[in-house]
Structure 1
């Protein structure tokens, strides 16, 4: 019995340890010991509503023209352009570098290339990203990505043992297997059907056809499509975008562009609240001096086809619209 107790303690101790560490969790993913908990969509992962279960699929390869000159494309982006969704083969460029807004991009420009940088932001992050000048890009002796340094051990320990993070990781380790999801779906169906309740991090549209991330819809948050934005703040956001262009040009980039991807709720839940029109107000601002790669009109025509059913991100069709616009601009075939 002592041996059994020790084994049980070791087993649950290892589960607890994995729940405290992103590194251990990543190792479990890589070795396929636990399944990808985003395989049916990030919104399904939260809501567990069966009708929004949307198995992940690879997008068809995009036919891309060869550039007639050497072109280097750099993107500072959100999750819409992350490496799991988009890579160098999707662009009509010679070299491609991507960094998240939360990472540091160290770069060395090759002056024999036409160097382009694109600042991509999902709508919910426009105010955080463009509320202050860009500060995560640095000229260096070579091009590479780093994470922001954090030498304070107490901050690392706080993040490791924070209840939300630990709970989320334990949920991934214990309850994201297919046989467990059946029970979670049953529970979610009962809560939604009889008590009109869903996970607090998602919003179900009135007709039940659309699932959105709560930050899109909670009007008390600056990320929301329905949070009030003053004209003065729009002026400030445009001023920062213009400043970023001047700054990045001084660093040696030949072209500086930006792009704002609409929140899912903006396109599919237009009557949920009073829309702040932040994308339109920025893109039409008379003082804006930076080319904008916009997809709002196309997405509104596409409606649900622009987004994944169980995910907050764009579908392959929506992604293709954006990529085609970027490539037209890269090849000089667009005058936006």
Structure 2
């Protein structure tokens, strides 16, 4: 009898070990797979960690807990034989911008601006290229001409360059595990957010501390991203920029423009999405006016969509309350400019 009890005990221990192994493997997978985490949010298995904005997500300050605006997507418009390639930052990612936002497109492809991509264009159509970058990354991205997009003749040669599979990354030790993503999946419910908000309130009101990734404007009305709200640094809206550096970036823009025109694009445009700090946080320092210094430079040949000027003049709130990105009204300003050209 004791013998059988020992066997049962061993079996139970194995089952418990297997159970824990399965559980922790699943938890690890949540932090490992960005696609799976997105799938869980899209299918409402878990609430989206960004539903109140990226800045609220980092700070958990309750006064900025406002759901992101949901913008209407227009109906399809009649084609005008135009193909648009968009190399963009997070302001134009697929969850924010879709084909139907643009008028009369036959084809629309969007890639992240830092990716190196091979594509094939249809020379029978009007081919337009838009390069969109947020202001805080502009200086680093145009320290040289931007040539991440390559054209090929064969459809079979298209795609992202150096796109290694997950298995290859694991073999080479590049495991894309994210503890932040792991935490987001497990603790993004309103129940856990309540406790996070209590902690954030205590830190702010008792110790005058907020999350290291955010800053508040002096009037405390706006929450901003620390990278562009700090007093100095290449990403800061207040970092001093010499005229020589501005001239060099303009030269690189011109070389970028000439490069893609020679490749066969009929039109090539630039968009610099203003930092939220550059519009709503200028009470923190002296703005370096990077955008208008680039756009108004006498040597600039590359056409652009100017978002900074209408944003600065507007009395509307053009950014989501708890987010670094523009809201529906802000996005529409950019779309109206683009669609006027289309």
- Normalised by the length of structure 1, the TM-score is 0.89
Contact kept in structure 2, 1:217 and 1:225, CA below 8 Å: yes
* Residue 84 of structure 2, aligned match among 61, 64, 73: 73
SS of the equivalent of 1:318 reads: helix
Tell me, in whole angstroms, the C-alpha distance in 1 between the residues paired with 2:201 and 2:195: 10
Gaps of 5+ in 1: 331-336
Do 1:295 and 1:321's aligned partners in 2 also have CA atoms closer than 8 Å?
A: yes
Instruction: Give how far 1:23 is off.
Output: 4.5
2:245 to 233, 244, 249: 233
**Paired residues for 1:198-237 under 5 Å:** 198-237=210-249
Describe the shift of the 1:70–1:158 C-alpha distance in structure 2 as closer, same or farther (beyond 3 A): closer
Residue aligned with 1:239, SS: helix
Q: Shift in Å at residue 25 of structure 1?
A: 3.1
> After superposition, what is the alpha-carbon deviation per residue over 1:227-275, rounded to whole angstroms, capped at 9, x for unaligned?
1211111011100110011100111001111111110000001121121
> Aligned-pair RMSD on alpha carbons?
2.4
Deviates more, 1:227-236 or 1:2-11: 2-11
Quick one: distance in 1 between partners of 2:129 and 2:84?
A: 6
| Equivalenced residues, count | 325
Q: Is 1:280 matched with 2:292? A: yes
3-state SS of 1:120 partner: strand
Pairs within 5 Å for 1:147-186: 148-149=162-163, 153=169, 157-158=173-174, 160=176, 166-186=178-198
**Cα distance change of structure 1 residues 148 and 57 upon mapping to structure 2, 3 Å threshold:** farther
Separation of aligned partners in 2, 1:210 and 1:29:
27
Query: Where do 1:245-260 residues align within 5 Å?
Result: 245-260=257-272
Structure 1 stretches of 4+ moved >6 Å: none
Distance in 2 (CA, whole Å) between partners of 1:9 and 1:303 is: 56
Alignment of 1:1-336 (within 5 A): 2=13, 3-4=15-16, 6-29=18-41, 31-62=43-74, 66=78, 69-94=80-105, 95-140=107-152, 141-142=154-155, 145-146=159-160, 148-149=162-163, 153=169, 157-158=173-174, 160=176, 166-303=178-315, 305-330=317-342
From the superposition, tell whether residues 227 and 116 of structure 1 become closer, same or farther in structure 2 (CA, over 3 Å). Answer: same
Cα deviations by residue, 1:257-299 (Å, 9 ceiling, x for unpaired) = 1111110000001121121111011001110001111121211
Distance 1:64 1:299 in 2: 27
Deviations 1:31-54 (A, max 9, x none): 543321111111111011111112
Contact 1:73 1:93 (C-alpha < 8 Å) held by counterparts = no
Tell me, yes or no, if the aligned pair for 1:103 and 1:145 is still in contact at 8 Å. no
Contact 2:91 2:325 (8 Å CA) reproduced: yes
Quick check: 175-184 or 18-27, which moved more? 18-27
Residues 315 and 155 (structure 1 numbering): CA distance in 2 closer, same or farther, change over 3 Å?
A: farther
Name the stretch that deviates more: 216-225 or 263-272. 216-225
CA contact under 8 A between 2:215 and 2:225: conserved in structure 1? yes
Q: Which has the larger radius of gyration?
A: 2
1:334 aligns with none
SS in structure 2 at match of 1:160: coil
| Structure 2, unaligned runs of 5 or more | 1-11
